[in-house]
Amino acid sequence: MTAIHIQGLGTYVPAKRITNDDLASRVDTSDEWIVSRTGIKARHMLADDENGSDAGVKAALLALEDAGLEPGDITHVLTATCTPDYLCPSTACILSGKLGTHGAMAFDLNAACTGFVYGLDVARGLLAGNPDAKILLVGSEAFTRRMNWNDRTTCILFGDGAAAVVLTDGDAGTPRACLPSAARLRDVQCGADGRQYPLLTVGGGTARNYRPGDPVQDDFYLQMQGREVFKLAVRSLSSVCAQLLERNGLSLDDVDLFIPHQANLRIIEAVGDRLKLGADKVFVNLDEYGNTSAASIPLGIGDACRQGRIRAGSRVLISAFGGGFTWGAALLEF
């Protein structure tokens, strides 16, 4: 029986910090509007000479250090991203070249903001087939590269960041830097409804037939029907959490901390209300990072560990939703 564990975790957020007041000098918005509608106060932005793969490498090195492993020990590199460096090659290949995991299988996984949770499910399957595997799962996003900085309804919401975990079969002992203990992946559940794909798109793919010299159109950038996404997000997060707990014979009383995808504080509060979770059990760090998509949940796990809100023995529920429309939840036992 496979007992998948997160054996190490590392996070990276770029130094450049964009406040709401900075954005208010570019578009017609205000700190008061952004905080009251979203809870976001700041977001971080990659430097001009830094890519999503660079951010991923920085997080991955810290995750390997936490796990006590070297790049050469890794057998699989999965990058969860919907803002890859290129359409081809994968960010996972670029990242593995920079990191030195030569020979390890490497591929990207695009489930938008649910990418990290999807990655756990994929890693579970890979480890079931190969218990000796040592899997590096990296959530890395460069969303500020696909923001339309003239669109106040979207440019306020997203930020850049990366976080990585090392997954192994079995508990290899106490991690060295970030995690208080290895975390057993008790269960994970994912889903999607592709009929809803127009609600959130990020361009740059081949759907539009660009010819050399054509100017980019608005659909090159992130476009979103915010209100519809909001409603679907509350419904899907609440139901996937309830289903996952039920099939594990658990209730929310058995959960020590809930780390939801960090998109909007009002979505998080609405889900907390539906699940009847006290605010003290709900982790929030979007005030500082905004929505970092596939990096959001592992960034949250890292911050929760550093703040002492996750300890050895904690049971943590994570849950995400994203473009696609995708959703997922997982139970981690530290």
Q: Which residues contribute to the site for ligand ACO (CB under 6 A)? A: 29, 33-34, 37-38, 112-113, 152-153, 156, 200, 224, 226-227, 229-230, 233, 263-264, 267, 291, 293, 322-323
CA distances from 141 to 42, 96, 207 (A): 16, 16, 21
**Is the torsion defined by CA of 324, 112, 206, 43 positive or negative?**
positive
* Identity of the residue, 195 or 227, whose beta carbon is nearer to ligand ACO in the bound complex: 227
Q: Which of 213, 208, 202 is nearest to 291 (CA)?
A: 202
Based on the residue annotation, tell me whether 93 is a catalytic residue of this protein. Answer: no
Question: Which candidate in 113, 155, 178, 241 is catalytic?
Answer: 113
* Identity of the residue, 254 or 273, whose beta carbon is nearer to ligand ACO in the bound complex: 273
- Cα–Cα distance, 242 to 252 (Å, whole number): 9
Based on the residue annotation, tell me whether 20 is a catalytic residue of this protein. Answer: no
Give Cα 218 to chain centroid, integer Å.
Answer: 25
* Identity of the residue, 139 or 322, whose beta carbon is nearer to ligand ACO in the bound complex: 322
* Identity of the residue, 93 or 112, whose beta carbon is nearer to ligand ACO in the bound complex: 112
- Cα–Cα distance, 110 to 116 (Å, whole number): 9
Please count the CA atoms within 13 angstroms of the CA of 109 that sit on its side-chain side: 27
* Identity of the residue, 68 or 226, whose beta carbon is nearer to ligand ACO in the bound complex: 226
Question: Which candidate in 44, 93, 261, 264 is catalytic?
Answer: 261
Task: Provide the residue type at 250 as one letter.
Answer: L
* Identity of the residue, 7 or 38, whose beta carbon is nearer to ligand ACO in the bound complex: 38
Q: How far is the CB of 157 from ligand ACO (least distance, A)?
A: 6
E-only strand ranges, the chain: 4-12, 16-19, 42-45, 76-80, 105-109, 135-142, 160-169, 183-192, 200-201, 223-224, 257-260, 315-322, 326-333
Based on the residue annotation, tell me whether 291 is a catalytic residue of this protein. Answer: yes
DSSP 195: G
Q: How far is the CB of 229 from ligand ACO (least distance, A)?
A: 4
Q: How far is the CB of 319 from ligand ACO (least distance, A)?
A: 13
Q: How far is the CB of 114 from ligand ACO (least distance, A)?
A: 7
- Cα–Cα distance, 295 to 103 (Å, whole number): 25
- Cα–Cα distance, 252 to 277 (Å, whole number): 7
Question: Which candidate in 20, 51, 264, 291 is catalytic?
Answer: 291
Q: How far is the CB of 73 from ligand ACO (least distance, A)?
A: 32
- Cα–Cα distance, 87 to 122 (Å, whole number): 21
Q: Would you say 323 and 27 are in contact if contact means Cβ atoms under 8 Å apart?
A: no
- Cα–Cα distance, 241 to 259 (Å, whole number): 11
Q: How far is the CB of 19 from ligand ACO (least distance, A)?
A: 14
Residues marked active site are found at 113, 261, 291
